[in-house]
């Protein structure tokens, strides 16, 4: 399988605020490095991506947000220096007497306005890494032909990024960028299947009012898991997008049998949609030993999952999302790709 990867991601290595305080980010460069080692050993062909198409990103993100991401670090350094990454500790209130408030002029206020979680911060290499990951997504579509598949080793991940907010380790929505690329290249309907442990709230939000992209997600129930405020079964889309969003929330300790049942529902919905292309938002944080998950899938389960997705017989782009058991992440990704082949 063709794999698109880049070492630009290494420049993004920042901090997160967790229950243990301010710590090195769990979403660290070692994740991509372990994956690249495993897929190289498995004999896959590795190539670099083409240049990012920023104008295309403006179809899924606001220009204001993209400009903010591009300038946040130098603005931060000008004001505070470069000893700590850029982050805020103040977010807009969920409710305000006068409704949503305008974006502040101040950088710290904008950091709160354009984020929804303190698990990711902006450093000197964040913008370059985020746009390189999106370039991997776009190039993966460009290199995908017929019923072939391409795997994009995206880091940082993307499925939590909304049109104008970052969070959940995500800045630019790579899966949305790939789906938009398929649409721009003539696909009438594209399906995104998100099989990360966490709900892809950003992907859902971006396409919630659109009928040309079907979003389907298997994930931990938001009643007990991040991102908590998105991913319920009754979220089906609105307006033109009504019926084009399917959430399949699952309980803690979900095993492969229960997970496979949900996958069957997801695959049936995609097959019925008439989708002409498939984007897989692929996370291996469903793994039994993942520190951020509660599901119990094993390495030996991933080849079968890949094989079932292959049976859809669609041009397919597989993009890396989560997976934080760094000692096993490469093996798990390689297992999935072997099944898909």
- Clarify whether 160 is annotated catalytic: yes
- Cα dihedral 219, 315, 5, 284 in deg (nearest 10): 20
List the beta bridge partners of residue 194: 217, 281
Catalytic, out of 9, 12, 44, 160: 160
Beta strands in 158-311 (DSSP E): 190-194, 213-220, 245-250, 277-282
Calpha distance 276→43 (Å, rounded): 29
Q: Shortest CA distance to 69 belongs to which of 114, 132, 117, 14?
A: 114
Residue 268's Cβ-side half-sphere holds a number of Cα atoms within 13 Å equal to 7
DSSP state of 103: P
Which residues lie below 8 Å from residue 40, measured CB to CB, with a gap of 6+? 46
For residue 66, CA distances in Å to 57, 63, 127, 238 come to: 8, 5, 9, 25
Residue 127's Cβ-side half-sphere holds a number of Cα atoms within 13 Å equal to 14
Calpha distance 82→176 (Å, rounded): 32
Query: Reading across the β-sheet that carries 213-220, which strands appear in turn?
Result: 45-47, 2-4, 149-152, 316-320, 277-282, 190-194, 213-220, 245-250
The sign of the dihedral angle between the CA atoms of 51, 129, 110, 200 is positive
Instruction: Output the DSSP codes for 255-295.
Output: -HHHHHHHHHHHHHHHHHHT-SEEEEEE--TTBTT-TT---
Active site residues: 160
């Amino acid at each position: 399988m063709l794999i698109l990867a880049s070492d630009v991601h290494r420049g993004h290595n920042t901090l997160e605020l967790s229950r243990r305080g301010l710590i090195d980010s769990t979403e660290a460069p070692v994740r991509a490095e372990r994956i690249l080692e495993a897929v190289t050993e498995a004999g896959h062909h590795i190539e670099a991506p083409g240049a990012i198409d920023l104008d295309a990103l403006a179809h899924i993100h606001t220009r204001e947000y993209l400009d903010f991401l591009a300038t946040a670090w130098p603005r931060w350094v000008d004001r505070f220096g470069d000893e700590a990454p850029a982050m805020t500790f103040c977010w807009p209130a969920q409710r305000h007497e006068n409704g949503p408030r305008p974006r502040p002029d101040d950088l710290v206020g904008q950091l709160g306005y354009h984020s929804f979680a303190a698990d990711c911060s902006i450093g000197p290499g964040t913008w370059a890494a985020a746009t390189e990951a999106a370039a991997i997504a776009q190039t993966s579509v460009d290199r995908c032909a017929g019923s072939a598949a391409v795997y994009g080793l995206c880091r940082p991940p993307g499925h939590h990024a909304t049109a104008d907010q970052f969070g959940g380790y995500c800045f630019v929505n790579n899966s949305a960028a790939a789906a938009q690329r398929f649409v721009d290249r003539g696909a009438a309907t594209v399906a995104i299947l998100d099989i990360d442990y966490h709900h892809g709230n950003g992907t859902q939000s971006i396409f919630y009012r659109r009928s040309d992209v079907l979003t389907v997600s298997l994930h931990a129930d938001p009643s007990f898991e991040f991102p908590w405020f998105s991913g319920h079964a009754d979220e089906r889309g609105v307006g033109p997008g009504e019926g084009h969003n399917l959430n399949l929330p699952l309980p803690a300790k979900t095993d492969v049998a229960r997970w496979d049942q949900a996958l069957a529902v997801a695959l049936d919905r995609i097959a019925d949609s008439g989708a002409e292309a498939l984007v897989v938002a692929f996370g291996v944080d469903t793994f039994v030993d993942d520190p951020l998950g509660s599901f119990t899938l094993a390495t030996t389960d991933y080849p079968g999952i890949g094989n079932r997705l292959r049976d859809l017989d669609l041009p397919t782009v597989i993009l890396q999302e989560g997976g934080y058991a760094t000692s096993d992440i490469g093996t798990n990704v390689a297992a999935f790709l072997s099944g898909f082949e």
